[in-house]
Amino acid sequence: MAYQPRFTALLDELAAVYRAEGRSEGAAAADALTQTAIDMPVTPSACAFDLGIRTCLAGSDHPAARAALAAHDLIDWSVNPVEDRMTVTAAAIIAVATLMGPEGPIPCPDHRLGLVYMAPNSYYGLHNHDADETYVILAGSAIWTAGDDTRHRPAGDMIHHPSLMPHAFRTGPEGFVALWRWSGDINTHSYRFLPDPQVEAQA
């Protein structure tokens, strides 16, 4: 099927981000994103975070954020491939829009790719998975832990997590919208939350 021009523009901007990643997996995901016909119409479901996502995107001048805002009504923010692995707390603070993967909507057996929104003033605890992963902050910011490295990550930052690297994020008053890509072993059953002193301290 033919894409809406705004959706095509979004895919082009997301692909440009990963073509600049400098990893062959990023380039391969970018090619799949723009060269594969969509498997089914994208019919967005209602999302409780709709206003937060729009507000966060509107505050960014990143080209992919502007494209995501323009195509917001075409994005289904209810497709989380690891929904069955989530804790109740984690599920309450994020929304995921899967754009490409084995289950579609853009079919790809080797990569998963999409967008994620995290609510303001929230903490998403340490977790890991078999897949290699690259995040790109499109709007907002977070205090980001990737292995032993913890730092502030503003819009435009790219963070790579090798397979099984523990990672976590804490948002401030804006929350964030990020682009994510999985490659390598992209199974979802390995996704798991890890013992986390920050979560234990809040209990």
Predicted pLDDT at 145: 98
Q: Which domain holds residue 124?
A: 5-202
Which residues does 28 contact at the CB level (< 8 Å), separation at least 6? 110, 111, 183
* Whole-structure pTM value: 0.95
| pLDDT tens per residue across span 159-201 | 999 999 999 999 999 999 999 999 999 999 999 999 998 876 6
Residue with tokens 């340490």: 126
153 vs 85: CA distance, rounded Å: 26
Number of domains the chain contains: 1
What are phi and psi for residue 161, nearest 5 degrees? Answer: -115, 110
pLDDT of residue 8: 92
| The 3-state secondary structure of 150-169, one letter per residue | EEEECCCCEEEECCCCCEEE
User: Mean pLDDT, the chain, as a whole number?
Assistant: 94
- CATH number at 192 reads 2.60.120.10
Residue 40 has pLDDT above 80, yes or no: no
Largest CA distance in the chain: 50
Q: Give the whole-number percent of the chain exceeding pLDDT 70.
A: 95
β strands within 75-155, DSSP E: 94-101, 106-107, 112-118, 123-128, 132-146, 149-153
What is the structure's pLDDT at 37? 79
